[in-house]
Amino acid sequence: MNKLSTIIVAVDFSECSRSALEQAARMAEWNKANLRVIHAVEYLTISDAAEALRLTEDQIRSEIRQQAISRLDAWVKEAVAPAEHSREVIFGPPLDVLLQETRTSRADLLVLGVTGDSLLPYGAGTLATKCLRKAPCKVMLVKESHARPFRRIVACVDFSDTSREAVLQTLRVASQDRAEVHFLQVFQPLWDFSAPFSDQFPAMADFEKNHRLVLENNLRQFVSAAPGISSIYAVCEAKTHGHGIAEYCRRIDADLVILGTKGKTNLKYVLLGSTVERLLKEIPCSALVVRPLTALRDEGVALESS
């Protein structure tokens, strides 16, 4: 990522969020960024506990805050967080809390576990998905097994300005972690050689091969990978882009996939493109989602310098 100033990491005390904290701490350290560690507590939890224990809500709130801060202290110490960090317990719906805090602190990056405490066997959790849809900054979703430096990164390219930004983010993370990078373009097939046309038009048999060569050449020209980074250029066919990305990440055992969103709608908040929506349903690794720079400007988010 380009130079980051403020990173927010959401901790719900799931093992998935522990990995998210460790990744956020690493990124804050190498960016010399301010790190905010936030644990959000639902109001319903407070009222239910107060009723069950026959205590006032203020008493329950004080006890919850004290216990949560104590756990955050231990986790932050284990994650070796940088000196410039804060540990905060905020009462309110987690989605509302995280969106509000990313806006008010003009955060550059929001980090959270891909499934959180939902215990889903695959796919992104509800909170992670909603944060990706609405957060006015970059969002990283971290798998439980990806707490340490990334070994293999997939950068998704569709030749848009947003994917150019995704490439820049990829190169910076790969340079820091000395990771292998796979620059990937997924395309939908334009042919069907199961039909008898290949017998009538033999030249069509070379179309797929030539098409792939053109796409790979375009991919290489678009990326211009930095020297010293181990780079692989891949062009893959799939019926949907999201499924193709997920399959490729599974096949190479990727740790992180980086891709962009589609920008803005007239509903005044950022929505994900269909590619990201599909990927979230079967996400096989950690993910960093980059928003278009125009969308970030419209949200009033300070852009980081290169």
On whether both 34 and 45 belong to a single domain, the answer is yes
Residue type for position 97: V
193 and 277 together in one domain: yes
Check which CATH number belongs to the domain holding 213 and give it.
3.40.50.620
Q: Provide the pairing of β-strand 6-10 with 109-113.
A: parallel
Q: Nearest 5°: CA angle at 246, between 244 and 251?
A: 95
How many domains are contained in the chain? Answer: 2
Could you say which of 120, 147, 174 is where a domain stops? 147
- Name the domain boundary from 87, 122, 147: 147
Quote the domain boundaries for residue 245: 149-306
Token readout for 76 is 């932050």
Per-residue pLDDT of the chain (306 residues; tens, 9 = 90+): 557 899 999 999 998 999 999 999 999 998 999 999 999 988 777 777 777 777 777 888 888 889 999 999 999 999 999 888 999 999 999 999 999 999 999 999 999 998 876 655 556 788 888 898 889 999 999 998 877 899 999 999 988 888 888 999 999 999 999 999 999 999 887 665 555 555 555 565 677 778 888 889 999 999 987 778 999 999 998 888 888 999 999 999 999 999 987 633 333 333 345 677 778 888 889 999 998 765 444 444 433 433
pTM: 0.83
Residues 92 and 25 in one domain: yes
* Same-domain status, 160 and 305: yes
- The rounded distance, in Å, linking the Cα atoms of 179 and 174 is 5
Q: Which of 147, 165, 188 is the last residue of a domain?
A: 147
Helix (H, G, I), strand (E, B) or coil at 92: coil
Cα(37)–Cα(10) distance, rounded to whole angstroms? Answer: 6
Does residue 287 contact residue 114 with C-beta atoms inside 8 Å?
yes
Cα 214 to its chain centre, rounded Å, is: 30
Which are the contacts of 102, defined by CB distance < 8 A and separation ≥ 6? 8, 110, 135, 136, 137
Question: Is 21 found in the same domain as 7?
Answer: yes
Could you tell me if 259 and 275 are in contact, meaning their C-beta atoms sit under 8 angstroms apart? yes
